[in-house]
Amino acid sequence: MSLWTKALARNFPSNVSAFYVHPGMVISNILVDRKSVRGRIIAATLGRCYRSCFEGAQTTIHCCVAPGLEKNSGSYFFNCHIQDKMKIQNEDDLVERLWVQTNLYLNNHEGSSQTCEIIYTVDTMWTNILLSVLVIILIIFAVYFCCCVSAALIRFILEPTIALCNCTTRLDGKTALVTGGNSGIGFETAKYLAKRGARVIIADINNAETTVANIIQSTDNPNVQYIHIDLSKFSSIRLFADKFNKTVDQLDILVNNAGCLMIKKYTTEDGMDLIMQVNYLGPFLMTKLIMEKLLKSPQCRIVNVTSSVYTKASVDFEDLSGSRTRNFFFRYANSKLCVSLWTKALARHFPSNVSAFYVHPGMVASNILVDPKSVGGRFIHATLGRYYSNCFEGAQTTIHCCVAPGLEKYSGSYFSNCKLQDKAKLRNEEDLVEKLWVQTNLFLNDYEEFNQT
């Protein structure tokens, strides 16, 4: 096009002036229909930064109407000004050759219009593909940016600071049991209890032999072992308790850390909602079956990991299995409310040598929702992980309630950020605590009797 313009200026008399112009970076309909969905997306993104069609037409209008441009025939204009472009090598020869060859081509090829149409179609196809890729990249970047900003705002509004457990208490001669200790917050809890000299037993659904070896190597404490348990199966919990009671004489610290959060609803082989069984019913039964070992300790502690979302939940005593609740958030929140009320019941129903606490680990980018090795997990860790607490920070309140001296007087209380928290009491909380304690025991007893028959 540029060389042809120069040829026009050269091959026609002085009353013919020719110019070639660059309109600038303009969002026009040359690539896509602005009324289409893709066109609207492009206009909403690139259109805010690029020129409008009115602005893009100004140089063309200038060359049409400005006086005295005849002497610049064959020149290049941009932004309503003549531009000094570096000459292409052998430009004069290229201009003349293109003029001759184009005329010969059009005279000798009747199918030129079809050829041009094919060339235009292929060129447009590749342009549209590249444009689509650009739009997808922009959308992904926008989603990533929004996720990062939202995560940062929520994190700094709700949890502006992160406290670390500064207590130096040793646990030599004590035995600790940590459920879900194979990864995440549970792993950090188990490691730091072992570092303080405790004998640590990791109870997990996944084989934790590698984890045990890592903890032993990093803490120089050989008293770390693994026992299999699947909290989604009552039969597995009973097998675990039987093995545990035969091999452990006394339990000083119990950390009910294991939990799950599944968006899709799953029902266990026992007929329970998976979230409710893993987060509440399973730990309740396990603790009940090994309580004899806790009572043998001069001063034992039970630390139940919950979540601050429990304040948004409710208890349906007609549906302790959680089968009726469909929304994943409320299934999770309800299970954590039950854990919180159960903790208060433990503090109420057992002697003073048993202290129970429920803790909120904070906003932690752990593997409770997704596998960190999956694509979704990597995306979440790349966004939330930059602003939320890591698993080490998330374990600090749990560790604090395990080792800090003088907490016995706060048995049944809620801790977050290594501090006692004053939570507004639920309506009829005392009645809820007692009723949940009685109803859960009855529920599990009835289930066992039903299975035996």
Q: 367-400, pLDDT tens digit by residue?
A: 665 555 666 556 666 656 666 678 899 999 999 9
Q: Is the pLDDT of residue 430 over 80?
A: yes
Q: Which CA distances in Å does 143 have to 88, 137, 146, 321?
A: 44, 10, 5, 37
Q: At 70, which amino acid appears?
A: E
Question: Can you give the pLDDT at residue 107?
Answer: 81
d(Cα 295, Cα 110) in Å, to the nearest integer? 100
- pLDDT, position 95: 82
**Structure letter (DSSP) for residue 311:** G
Does 225 have pLDDT greater than 70? Answer: yes
Contact, 102 vs 82, CB < 8 A? no
CATH: 3.40.50.720, 3.90.226.10, 3.10.450.50, 3.40.50.300. Which one for 167-452?
Answer: 3.40.50.720
**How many other C-beta atoms can be found within 10 angstroms of the C-beta atom of residue 103?**
11
- Under DSSP, the state recorded for 253 is E
Whole-number Cα distances in Å, 15 to 4, 8, 19, 50: 17, 11, 13, 36
Kindly state the average pLDDT of the residues 270-287.
Answer: 96
Confidence at residue 227, expressed as pLDDT on a 0 to 100 scale: 97
pLDDT at 332: 92
pLDDT digits (tens, 9 = 90+) for 307-352: 888 878 788 888 898 888 888 889 999 999 999 999 999 999 999 9
Q: What is the pLDDT of residues 24-58, one digit of tens each?
A: 887 666 655 666 666 666 666 666 667 788 888 99
Bridge partners of 26, per DSSP, are 51
The pLDDT tens digits of the residues spanning 250-272 come to 999 999 999 998 888 999 999 99
Note the maximum CA span of the chain: 112
Percent of the chain with pLDDT over 90: 48
End-to-end CA distance of the chain, in Å?
90
Using pLDDT thresholds of 50, 70 and 90, give the confidence band for residue 214.
Answer: very high
User: Per mean pLDDT, which of 102-116, 136-150, 370-384, 436-450 is the most reliable?
Assistant: 436-450
State yes or no: pLDDT of 292 exceeds 90.
yes
Question: Tokens representing 284?
Answer: 């309740």
Rounded CA-CA distance 225/213 in Å is: 9
Q: Which of 99, 88, 70 is nearest to 8 (CA)?
A: 99
Across the range 221-246, mean pLDDT stands at 97
Give pTM, 2 decimals.
0.68
Calculate the CA 358 to chain-centre distance.
25
In the block, residue with structure tokens 């060359």: 63
pLDDT (0 to 100) of residue 119? 43
3 state DSSP class of 26: strand
The whole-number pLDDT of residue 117 equals 46
Is the pLDDT score of 130 beyond 50?
yes
Considering Cα of 58, then 64, then 67, then 68, what sign does the dihedral take? positive
Mean per-residue pLDDT, 223-246: 97
Q: Residue 5: which pLDDT band, with cuts at 50, 70 and 90? A: confident
pLDDT of residue 362: 84
- Residue 109 pLDDT level (bands cut at 50, 70, 90): low
Q: How confident is the model at residue 170 (pLDDT cuts 50, 70, 90)?
A: very high
Residue-wise DSSP of 318-345: T-TT--S---HHHHHHHHHHHHHHHHHH
* Range name among 72-76, 297-301, 407-411, 434-438 with the lowest pLDDT average: 72-76
Contacts for 270 with CB less than 8 Å, ≥ 6 apart: 232, 233, 234, 277, 447
Please check the confidence at residue 238 and state whether its pLDDT lies above 50.
Answer: yes
> What's the confidence (pLDDT) of residue 44?
64
- Greater confidence (117 vs 426) lies with 426
Catalytic annotation, residues: 332
The domain limits of the chain are 1-85, 167-452
Q: What is the CB neighbour count within 10 angstroms for residue 170?
A: 11
The span from the CA of 176 to the CA of 255, in Å, is 8
Share of the chain above pLDDT 70, in %: 81
Report yes or no: 270 and 233 within 8 Å, Cβ to Cβ.
yes
Q: Is the pLDDT of residue 20 over 80?
A: yes
Write down the pLDDT at residue 42.
Answer: 66
Asked if residues 362 and 336 have their Cβ atoms less than 8 Å apart, the reply is no
